[in-house]
Amino acid sequence: MIKVEEEMIEKADVVIIGGGVMGTSTAYHLAKLGCKDVVLVERDQLASGSTGLSAGGIRLQFSLKANIRISMESLRTFERFAEEFETQIDFRQHGYLFLATRPKDWAEFQANVAVQQRTGVPVRLLSPEVIRDMAPYLYLDDVVGGTFCPRDGYADPYSVAMGFAKQARRLGVRICEETEALDIKVSEGKVKAVVTDKGEIVTPVAVNVAGPWAAQVGRMAGLELPVLPYRRQVFVTAPFDELPRQIPMIIDFAPSFYFRREGASILVGMTDQEEPPSFNTNFDLEFLVKVAEKAAHRAPILDRAGFMRGWAGLYAVTPDDNAIIGQDIGDVEGFYCAVGFSGHGFMQSPAVGRILADLITSGETDFDLSPFRLERFKAEGLMGERRVV
Ligand SMILES: Cc1cc2nc3c(=O)[nH]c(=O)nc-3n(C[C@H](O)[C@H](O)[C@H](O)COP(=O)(O)OP(=O)(O)OC[C@H]3O[C@@H](n4cnc5c(N)ncnc54)[C@H](O)[C@@H]3O)c2cc1C
């Protein structure tokens, strides 16, 4: 039993472990389907994990059809979020412009665009000349080609999580912050209870949406989930008016470098290819120097920008950069997961929360989850997601 404000909670139909955007979306969608005896436990504050540190990018441009479909459903939710959730999320639909500098990436972009267009994504292939007209501030001599989808964009992940949480609470979900799950009791292959630092909640359903800590929560149910935490850093310039006020999210694919507007400033980020897995979230000034160099290469005017602040958060990465989503994971009845989003979990949270809620309430979903099964890691030659930033 745990005490939340004046209420004692002994049991619940569902216990959600993790109060990021995935946990709050799942809580909301469960309650919307009428499953209201739901408890969400978050060991810190809501959105204090990866969600609150995310760059907020939202895109339809994936290589796998399944990811495109998840993003298409999610995008429809972002487009009507302010109205449906009565929460402003600063959603900007300025598009994503991907740049290829290597012939092999360009060949892959062309194959990806064929799949995306067949799936209904309004994406186009662009020559360097067309990109020059669209974004004259870019250095393009080393660019082979690009892709652009105008429906892509970005929003504020913290506000999205708060919007889900607000409506989930309104529908009866109990959200317990500063409550850490310590163990999951499993007996005869079935979930029986979630043990927290405030006491035990008897439940047949435990949902692992613990982001970079997913493997630890998996171990509580006796499972090894291949999800590793990797530090990712972003930096924000001082107000900078030498670039247009409206620019797309620009992705230089080979170095995994990106930038977009953040109000009057510019937000930049890059993947450190040398970074080993760890829970390190220290901000690294040496890495900022490398990122600033990359920024000045791709948009030379950014050489004049001064960096004001930055932060580090964690990606939760699987071996094929695809999430693990499903029910009865590892044959533990009642153990559900939506983990390992490898840098695209924010943008997929609306649809994934809906899919998990369908699975929990009815045991089935209209969505083909085969690319996201845990069992795929036993096979050789994983297909995986290729458009990873
Ligand atoms: C720098 C950066 C940039 C990113 N950019 C993008 C982007 O542009 N677009 C995009 O889609 N994604 C992006 N991501 C990834 C995105 O942030 C994540 O995929 C998404 O936020 C995952 O949400 P989540 O709810 O699964 O995890 P989290 O937000 O990490 O939430 C998990 C929660 O579980 C809690 N928890 C863990 N263990 C326990 C326990 N034992 N008991 C109770 N609570 C527990 C944690 O405190 C945490 O709050 C970025 C990430 C980073 C770090």
**What spacing in Å lies between the alpha carbon of 68 and ligand 1's midpoint?**
20
Which atom belonging to ligand 1 lies closest to the Cα atom of 347? 11
Predicted confidence (pLDDT) at residue 26 exceeds the cutoff of 90:
yes
Q: How far is the CA of 50 from the centre of ligand 1 (A)?
A: 3
Chosen domain end from 301, 317, 333:
317
Number of domains the chain is built from: 2
**Residue whose CB lies within 8 A of the most ligand 1 atoms, among 50, 164, 198, 220, for a mutation test:** 50
CA–CA distance, 175 with 13 (Å, rounded to integer): 14
Please list, in sequence order, all residues whose beta carbon lies within 8 angstroms of the beta carbon of residue 176, skipping any fewer than 6 positions away: 2, 4, 9, 39, 40, 41, 42, 196, 198
Cα–ligand 1 centroid distance for 194 (angstroms): 21
- pLDDT score of 8: 84
| CATH number reported for the structural domain that contains residue 107 in this entry | 3.30.9.10
Ligand 1 first shell, C-beta below 6 A: 17-23, 41-44, 48-51, 53-57, 180-181, 209-213, 217, 232, 234, 313-315, 341, 343-347
Residue 325 has pLDDT above 90, yes or no: yes
> Residue 22 Cα, ligand 1 centroid: separation in angstroms?
8
Residue 218 lies in a domain: yes
Binned at pLDDT 50, 70 and 90, residue 94 comes out as very high
Q: What is the pLDDT of residues 153-190, one digit of tens each?
A: 999 999 999 999 999 999 999 999 999 999 999 999 99
Q: For residue 4, name the pLDDT band (cuts at 50, 70, 90).
A: confident
Closest atom of ligand 1 to CA, residue 311: 1
Looking at residue 223, its pLDDT comes to 97
Supply the range of the domain harboring residue 309. Answer: 93-151+231-317
Q: In the prediction, which pLDDT does 1 show?
A: 82
Mean pLDDT of 90-108: 97
Is 94 within 8 Å of 249 (Cβ atoms)? yes
Q: 311 and 258 in one domain? A: yes
Residue 300 Cα to ligand 1 midpoint, Å, equals: 32
Q: Is the pLDDT of residue 356 over 80?
A: yes
Distance 188 CA to ligand 1 centre (A): 31
Q: What is the per-residue pLDDT for 379?
A: 83
Instruction: Look at residue 382 in the predicted model and tell me its pLDDT.
Output: 77
Are residues 326 and 183 both part of a single domain?
A: yes
Q: What is the pLDDT of residue 2?
A: 80
Q: Does the pLDDT value for residue 369 go beyond 80?
A: yes
**Of the residues 317, 335, 360, which one is the last residue of a structural domain?**
317
Which tokens in the block code for residue 140? 């393009």
Tell whether 20 and 33 lie within a shared domain.
yes
**Residue whose CA is closest, atom 48 of ligand 1?**
49
Of 317, 347, 369, the last residue of a domain is 317
CA distance 33 to 114: 36
* Pocket mutation for ligand 1, best pick of 39, 40, 54 (most atoms within 8 Å of C-beta): 54
Average pLDDT over the chain, rounded to an integer? 96
Residue 312 CA: nearest ligand 1 atom is 1
pLDDT at 111 over 90: yes
Domain identity same for 144 and 240: yes
Report the CATH number at residue 174. Answer: 3.50.50.60
Q: What is the pLDDT of residue 7?
A: 78
Is 242 found in the same domain as 175?
no
Are 100 and 10 part of one and the same domain? no
**Percent above pLDDT 70 for the chain:** 100
Give a yes or no: residue 58 inside a domain.
no
49 Cα–ligand 1 center, Å: 5
Q: Going by CA atoms, what residue is nearest to atom 22 of ligand 1?
A: 345
Whether the predicted pLDDT of 36 surpasses 90? no
231-264 tens-digit pLDDT: 999 999 999 999 999 999 999 999 999 999 999 9
- Percentage with pLDDT > 90 across the chain: 94
Is residue 63 domain-resident? no
Structure confidence by residue, pLDDT tens digits, 140-159: 999 999 999 999 999 999 99
Rounded Cα distance between 216 and 21, Å, is 19
- Claim to verify: residue 127 and residue 265 sit in the same structural domain: yes
Mean pLDDT, residues 302-326 taken together:
97
- pLDDT (mean) for 270-282: 95
User: Looking at the structure, do residues 178 and 282 belong to the same domain, yes or no?
Assistant: no
Tell me how far the alpha carbon of residue 141 lies from the centroid of ligand 1, in angstroms: 37
Nearest Cα residue to atom 26 of ligand 1: 211
Q: Is residue 64 part of a domain?
A: no
What is the CA(380)–ligand 1 centre distance, in A? 28
Looking at the structure, tell me whether residues 116 and 184 fall in a common domain.
Answer: no
Q: Does pLDDT of 9 surpass 80?
A: yes
pLDDT at 78 (0 to 100): 98
- Helix then strand then coil, in percent of the chain rounded to 5, is 35, 25, 40
Helix (H) / strand (E) element for 18: namely none
Task: Decide if 119 is inside a domain.
Answer: yes
Quick one: 235 and 216 in the same domain? Answer: no
**How does residue 80 score in pLDDT terms, banded at 50, 70 and 90?**
very high
> Residue 320: its pLDDT value, please?
95
Mark out the alpha helices in 97-220 (DSSP H runs).
Answer: 103-118, 128-134, 157-170, 214-220
Work out the pLDDT band at 6, boundaries 50, 70, 90: confident
Is residue 386 situated within a structural domain?
Answer: no
Q: Is residue 178 part of a domain?
A: yes
76-113 burial code (b ≥16 CB/10 A, e <16): ebbeebbeebebebebbbbbbbbbbbeeebbebbeebb
Which atom of ligand 1 lies nearest, measured to the CA of 339?
26
* CA–CA dist 171, 90 (Å, integer): 24
The predicted model gives 192-219 an average pLDDT of: 98
Give a yes or no: residue 357 inside a domain.
Answer: yes
Closest C-alpha to ligand 1, atom 52 = 54
- Residue 52 alpha carbon, nearest atom of ligand 1: 29
Protein residue with least CA distance to atom 2, ligand 1: 54
Per-residue model confidence (pLDDT) at position 380: 76
Average pLDDT in the 117-141 region? 98
Same domain, 240 and 308: yes
Handedness of CA 57, 61, 64, 68 (dihedral sign): positive
Nearest residue CA, atom 15 of ligand 1?
Answer: 343
What is the pTM assigned to this prediction?
A: 0.97
Do 329 and 221 lie in a common domain?
Answer: yes
